[in-house]
Amino acid sequence: MIRQLIRRILGAGSESAGKVKPKVYEKSAHGIALNDVSPNAMRVTQTLQDAGFKAFIVGGAVRDLLLGFRPKDFDVATNATPEEVKRLFRRAFIIGRRFQIVHVMFGQDLIEVTTFRGASTDEAPKDAHGRVLRDNTFGEQHEDAERRDFTVNAMYYDPAREQVLDYHGGMKDIRSKTLRIIGVPEARYREDPVRMLRVVRFAAKLGFAIAAPTRSPIKVMAPLINNVPAARVFDEMLKLLMSGHAMACLHQLRKQGLHHGLLPLLDVVLEQPLGERFVALALSNTDERVREGKPVSPGFLFASLLWHQVLERWNAYKAAGEAPIPALHLAADDVLDGQTEQLAIQRRIATDMRDIWAMQPRFERRIGKSPYKLLEHPRLRAGYDFLLLRCASGELDPEIGVWWTEFMAADGPEREALLSRKPAETDQTPNKRRRRRGGRGRGKADSEGSTELPVKGVLE
């Protein structure tokens, strides 16, 4: 209690000194309604304030509330240290190495609590390119505001007083729909190159223009992304692609010269009519699901983005004499190995991607027991949705998608009828045994050998 009393006295003194004071907006000016604020976030700020600390909802949640959006997450900033925060809550966990934060849990709801960061110092460990590796320096609120990336993310909302504190003109930039980095752009990008990806994501998501001084260094400094740990780049790319504005984000990446190395050959894909339509459909479907609050599979998303790279290498391997199915697996290995160096795609996600790709030739085997076996695949729905994308983009005959839609919805006799009515010419193969009619009597060789068939149509 003595430490808290001293902290409050010193805090009051520093404010009265008034070196850096925020512009304060009352409710009549900012218009945030308490009903739109997370009750758990308010509980965290109230608990911290009752214990003698400063506490504010901060960052993207304040920005979104001011714009009339429903925030996805609520973060809290305070002058309490992580250890002091942890002692105030029953379920609180300190995490992070670069900068320690506290996760306060209320059931499944997570409130992230950070201690005000101090001014950046030259003593903070950095890599050879100037990227800050670790910085646990705590400081005053105005220093914390200066350390934040963009002006629109550097505002603090106090639910108790219903006030917004603005240190860097964020309210003005929100009203003019402008993204502006705090401080010298080149220095801020060098400290953390991921900020270049973040400005692209926010510009696409919010429909904001990027201020010229914030935008101009990006193309020159884009190679610094290569020095960021691959896992962190992957996390940022996932946020970008699952923002609800994925296609706009990709176009912004290309416009700012940031896509090189992140999604190799993206330019080639988007310059080919089939590839561009396929990616556009995949991202449009993803955006729609995000906006409707439906779950989105990262595996499906990345499988879609990288499919035409797999397709290109698959065809190359087949042209070199490799059998179709081994060629598909080799192509998948090539693409995933190349991406892992830049994006560190998690093994679970990579497994989903492989399964989706490997199912595609099997969808074209619509005879015998093959369709029944495919119905048992644990990722059938993802593979089927992927097939529909290929049909919708013009890569495959739409009849294949229609057939599978009917087959999946049908009962036993209806499925047999679908198998019997399928045009024979689309099932012609060099193997004469596969030309026999009557799916139930063809035996083991056909069902086990189905994945060894040549791939038909545009995939050939």
Domain interval for residue 252: 177-258
Residues 10 and 90 in one domain: yes
- 9 assigned to some structural domain: yes
| Residue 387 or residue 263, greater confidence | 387
| Residue 334 or residue 431, greater confidence | 334
- 263 assigned to some structural domain: no
75 is catalytic: yes
Residues 402 and 441 in one domain: yes
| Residue 118 or residue 11, greater confidence | 118
Residues 151 and 44 in one domain: yes
Report the CATH number that the domain containing residue 166 is assigned in CATH.
3.30.460.10
Residues 361 and 227 in one domain: no
Of the segments 44-48, 231-235, 246-250, which one has the largest average pLDDT value?
44-48
Report the CATH number that the domain containing residue 453 is assigned in CATH.
1.10.3090.10
149 is catalytic: yes
267 is catalytic: no
Residue 431 pLDDT class (50, 70, 90 cuts): very low
Catalytic residue among 144, 149, 287, 352: 149
pLDDT for 61: 97
pLDDT for 8: 46
**pTM score of the predicted model:** 0.73
Query: Across all residues in the chain, what is the average pLDDT?
Result: 83
Which of 175, 197, 232 is at the close of a domain? 175
Residues 205 and 154 in one domain: no
Residues 301 and 357 in one domain: yes
- 408 assigned to some structural domain: yes
pLDDT for 28: 96
Residues 394 and 436 in one domain: yes
pLDDT for 232: 87
Specify the DSSP class assigned to residue 225. Answer: G
- 203 assigned to some structural domain: yes
pLDDT for 12: 42
Residues 421 and 331 in one domain: yes
Catalytic residue among 75, 144, 166, 352: 75
For residue 232, count other CB atoms closer than 10 A to its CB: 15
Of the candidate ranges 94-108, 144-158, 405-419, 423-437, the one whose mean pLDDT is the lowest: 423-437
Which of 125, 147, 175 is at the close of a domain? 175
Residues 319 and 360 in one domain: yes
Is residue 179 within 8 A of residue 212, CB to CB? The reply is no
Domains in the chain, number? 3
- 412 assigned to some structural domain: yes
Residues 3 and 42 in one domain: yes
Residues 83 and 201 in one domain: no
Residues 276 and 405 in one domain: yes
Report the CATH number that the domain containing residue 216 is assigned in CATH.
1.10.110.30
Which of 175, 194, 226 is at the close of a domain? 175
pLDDT for 279: 87
86-94 average pLDDT score: 95
pLDDT for 121: 53
